[in-house]
Amino acid sequence: MFKSIITTFVLSAFAITHNLNAQVSIDNTDITNPPATSCTNTFYTVSGVMANTNYGYSGPVITVVGFNISIQMDYYSGFAPMPGATPYSEDMDLGMLPVGTYTVSTNTTVDGLSSSNDIGTFDVISCCPVNADFSLSSSTTCYPDIVWTTNLSTGASSYDWYIDGVFIVNDPNPGFSPSVAGIHTIQLVANDGNCADSMELTLEVFVADAINLGNDTTICIGDSLLLDVITPNATYEWQDGSTNATFTVDTAGTYWVEVTDSNGCISADSIVVASCSVGLGEIYNSESILIYPNPAISQIQLLGVEGESTVSIHSLAGELVAVYSNTDTLDISTLKAGAYLVNVTQKNTTITKRLIIQD
């Protein structure tokens, strides 16, 4: 009887003492068979050392909430634990996870008491063979300049483009010219007919303030006309190369100015000043002829041209560079970037407009 009591006391004391030092360590955590993909189950390996050889184990409890994963591993020592360092390793099935970066919190307990914990991260990549990728010719632009895309995608056969979430075009390498100032999101969705991948870049657009030299007018001998285009933080270039914000006109002629604002955006306007000896009634109203767009890149539309007409384009040095007849749509793709004078002759009257061609 006494021996039995002693034995029970010793075993109980051992169990109590061991429970105070009970431990299941977490020494390593990692993806079992990397890389983890979105089309297969992801397995996560947890390994470490148990302080006893005969721990009971109730299995892991795995919780996935968004991109956060919790793994709870509960052990119990029982009445008569058997001390001895015992390695363990278990592959946890986390299921099929969407593409993203995940944070995994792994915890072990022994007899309800916290034993060890670990925080790890891993990425789940797309199993789709399509990889959307592109670059922009510039991250900033001045309207109406065009920003061109360079499509670097692989594995795709179709390319959809969106600006601020609105579908624009299906094309491998389009160009964009948003007309609204601000930061716009350019998105490419590339697909192969079975799956798709997407990528986004931002484009900042600046819109220059319009410059207005006023309506075409007349001037008499001894009179002068002050042209004023003062714009904060801007630079100026007039038809004679001068760079002031104002220009004084005292003779008849065609006058124009380019204003470059603090964002590098250019706006321009021109005005025809005739001699008062001609008379306003004899001057064809240049406001009835509009060039759109202006500045332009490859093509312009002449609004107000009707019937028989001849259009000639001259450099500022006076060189004739292009002539068109009986058309209101002009292909200017062969002309170099710069400033030009456009002479429109119709109804036995010639008017002059200013044109800016950009790259």
If residue 5 lies in a helix (H) or strand (E), which one and from where to where?
helix 2-21
Number of structural domains the chain divides into: 4
Res 11: pLDDT: 42
Last residue of a domain, one of 281, 298, 329: 281
The reply to whether 242 and 266 lie within a common domain is: yes
Res 160: pLDDT: 97
Res 21: pLDDT: 52
Last residue of a domain, one of 159, 186, 206: 206
The reply to whether 258 and 332 lie within a common domain is: no
pTM of the entire predicted model: 0.50
Indicate if the pLDDT at residue 339 is higher than 90: no
Res 324: pLDDT: 94
Indicate if the pLDDT at residue 18 is higher than 80: no
Q: How confident is residue 350, by pLDDT bands cut at 50, 70 and 90?
A: confident
The reply to whether 157 and 81 lie within a common domain is: no
The reply to whether 101 and 41 lie within a common domain is: yes
Res 235: pLDDT: 96
What are the angstrom distances between the C-alpha of 181 and each of 95, 169, 175, 205, 336?
A: 46, 21, 17, 5, 27
What is the C-alpha separation between 224 and 270, in angstroms, rounded? 17
Residue 10: CATH number of its domain:
2.60.40
The reply to whether 162 and 262 lie within a common domain is: no
The reply to whether 116 and 159 lie within a common domain is: no
Q: Please provide the average confidence, as pLDDT, over all residues in the chain.
A: 87
- pLDDT tens digits, one per residue of 305-337: 877 889 999 887 778 999 999 998 999 999 998
Indicate if the pLDDT at residue 15 is higher than 50: no
Res 95: pLDDT: 92
| Cβ-based neighbours of 293, under 8 Å, separated by 6 or more | 144, 300
What is the C-alpha separation between 290 and 206, in angstroms, rounded? 23
Res 277: pLDDT: 56
Which range marks the domain in which residue 73 is found?
Answer: 2-125
Res 294: pLDDT: 84
The reply to whether 95 and 154 lie within a common domain is: no
The reply to whether 88 and 177 lie within a common domain is: no
Res 287: pLDDT: 53
What is the C-alpha separation between 150 and 135, in angstroms, rounded? 5
The partner residues of 203 in beta bridges, in order of sequence, read 184
What is the C-alpha separation between 279 and 290, in angstroms, rounded? 23
Residue 271: CATH number of its domain:
2.60.40.10
Peptide bond preceding 35: is omega within 30 degrees of 0, i.e. cis? Answer: yes
Res 8: pLDDT: 40
Last residue of a domain, one of 232, 266, 281: 281
Q: How confident is residue 262, by pLDDT bands cut at 50, 70 and 90?
A: very high
The reply to whether 17 and 49 lie within a common domain is: yes
- Section 237-251 average pLDDT: 93
What is the C-alpha separation between 11 and 8, in angstroms, rounded? 5
The reply to whether 299 and 358 lie within a common domain is: yes
What is the C-alpha separation between 63 and 95, in angstroms, rounded? 11
User: Residue 60: is it exposed, middle or buried by C-beta count within 10 angstroms (0-12/13-18/19+)?
Assistant: middle
- Section 277-298 average pLDDT: 64
- Section 33-41 average pLDDT: 88
Q: How confident is residue 292, by pLDDT bands cut at 50, 70 and 90?
A: confident
For CA atoms 89, 94, 100, 104, give the dihedral sign.
negative
Indicate if the pLDDT at residue 189 is higher than 70: yes
Compare 276 and 315 and report the one with higher pLDDT: 315
- Section 58-82 average pLDDT: 91
- pLDDT tens digits, one per residue of 131-180: 999 999 999 999 989 999 999 999 999 999 999 999 999 999 999 999 99
> For the ranges 8-12, 85-89, 117-121, which has the lowest average pLDDT?
8-12
Compare 294 and 321 and report the one with higher pLDDT: 321
Res 242: pLDDT: 94
Return the percentage of the chain with pLDDT > 90, whole number. 57
Indicate if the pLDDT at residue 17 is higher than 70: no
Indicate if the pLDDT at residue 30 is higher than 50: yes
Res 22: pLDDT: 62
> For the ranges 67-81, 249-263, 275-289, which has the lowest average pLDDT?
275-289
